[in-house]
Structure 1
Amino acid sequence: METKNLKKNQAVWRPLSVGDIPSLVQVADRVHPDLPESNEVFAERARLFPQGCLGLFDDAGELHGYIISHPIRYCEPPALNQLLGKIESNADQYYIHDLAILRGIRGSGLAHACLNMILESVAKRYATTGLVSVYGTAKFWGRYGFETPEAVDRVLEKKILDYGEEAVYLERKNEMHIYD
C-alpha cells in the first residue's frame, strides 16, 4: 500500500463495506502498530453503526484512512480489540473509536472534513462525544472542543492504559441534540 499525496478533491469519505476491512486493517497496522485490533472488531463496528464508519478513498478505490465511531454508554468505551455485540439501546454518548489517516496525506484537511461531517451530524444526537487520544494528539482534538473531563473513574482509567502511556480520555459537549 503506497502512500500518495492526495488533495481534498482527489479523495472522498464514504461508508465502509465489509470488503473494505482488509485494507482498513492494513492502514490501522501502519498508523497504530502498537494498538492492534482484529478484522472482526472493525467489521462489527461497520456493520452495527455504518453511519459512523467511513473510509477515505482515492479515485482508484484505494483506502487511505478511516474513522470508526458509534454510540456508547457515557464514559464506557469498549476496551481495545473488544467486540461490542450490539449498540446498547440506552447509549447516551457518541464515541470516536479511531481516526487514522496515512502519513502522506495528513495536513490536507481531509481529517477535518471527516470530523466536521461526523460531529455536525450523527454525534449531535448525543449530549457529548468522547474518545481516547493516543500518541500525544490531545492538542489536535482540542481544536474540536475535546477536553479532559473533570473526573475519570477507575474502570475507564484501566481501559485507557491499554492504549499506551500518552493515552488520555477526552470529551466535548455537542451543541445540539436531535432526538428521533
Structure 2
Amino acid sequence: MMCYQWRPMRADDLPRVMAIAEQVHVGYFEAEEVFAERLTLFAPGCLIAVREEGESEEEVIGYAFMHPARQGFPPALNTLLRHLDPAADCLHLHDVALLPAARGSGLGRRLVDVLAELCQAHGLSKAALVAVHASNGYWQAAGFLENAQVSVQGRACLASYGDDALYMTKNLTW
C-alpha cells in the first residue's frame, strides 16, 4: 500500500531538492546554498514529500520551504536571508515543488494544514506566499487571497519572480 506524507528535511536531502526544483521550477533557479540556509535558519519549515512502499522504501517526490517573515516583505528569488526577521509576523511559504507522481496524493492539502500548525506553534496568525506558474487559483482554493499591500522593497523582490507573480496571504484563526 502506498503512503504519501511530509517528513522533516535533512541536509542530505538537498541534492534531491535541487533535482526536483530543476524539473518543476524551470525559470525560477535558486542555488543550493539558499535552500541550505533556509534549513539552517528554520528547520521546522523545511519538509520533504515522500511516497513510501513498505517499511524501508521511500521515494522523494517533493519539498517545501517555509520560514517566519514580515508581511509585505517577500524575499527575492535566489537570495540568502542571512537571519530571520525579528519583526516576523507571518509564515512565508517560500517554495513548494511536487513531482507529477504526487498529483492526487493529498500532499498539497496536507501542506496547508502543516503550514497552519507551524503558524500556531510559532504564534503567527498569517501565512504568505508568492504564487508563480499561474498557481494563484490553487492557493485561492486553499484560502489565500491576493494582497496588494507589499512594501516598496517587497515589490522589488516580488519582481524577481516574474511579471505574473502574485503576493498572497491567508489569515489564520484557531
Tell me what 2:50 maps to.
57
Tell me what 2:145 maps to.
147
Aligned length: 168
- Counterparts of 1:109 and 1:166, CA distance in 2: 26
TM-score, normalised to structure 2, is 0.89
Deviation at 1:81, TM superposition (A): 0.7
Q: Is the 8 A contact 2:75 2:158 kept in 1?
A: no
- Counterparts of 1:172 and 1:129, CA distance in 2: 5
Structure 1 residues 87 and 152 mapped into 2: Cα distance closer, same or farther (>3 Å)? Answer: closer
Unmatched runs of 5 consecutive residues or more in structure 1: 1-6
Q: Is the 8 A contact 1:12 1:56 kept in 2?
A: yes
- Counterparts of 1:67 and 1:168, CA distance in 2: 18
Matched, 1:117 2:114: yes
Q: Which amino acid aligns with 2:142?
A: Y
Equivalent residue in structure 1 for 2:170, among 169, 172, 175? 172
- Counterparts of 2:72 and 2:155, CA distance in 1: 10
Q: RMSD over aligned Cα, in angstroms?
A: 1.6
**Deviates most, 59-68 or 15-24:** 59-68
Q: Which runs of 4+ in 1 moved over 6 A?
A: none
Q: Is the 8 A contact 2:74 2:158 kept in 1?
A: no
Q: Is the 8 A contact 1:75 1:93 kept in 2?
A: no
- Counterparts of 1:96 and 1:136, CA distance in 2: 16
Matched, 1:36 2:11: no
Tell me what 2:81 maps to.
84
- Counterparts of 1:46 and 1:130, CA distance in 2: 18
TM-score, normalised to structure 1, is 0.86
Deviation at 1:15, TM superposition (A): 0.7
Tell me what 2:92 maps to.
95
- Counterparts of 1:151 and 1:45, CA distance in 2: 25
Q: Which amino acid aligns with 2:155?
A: E
- Counterparts of 1:150 and 1:168, CA distance in 2: 9
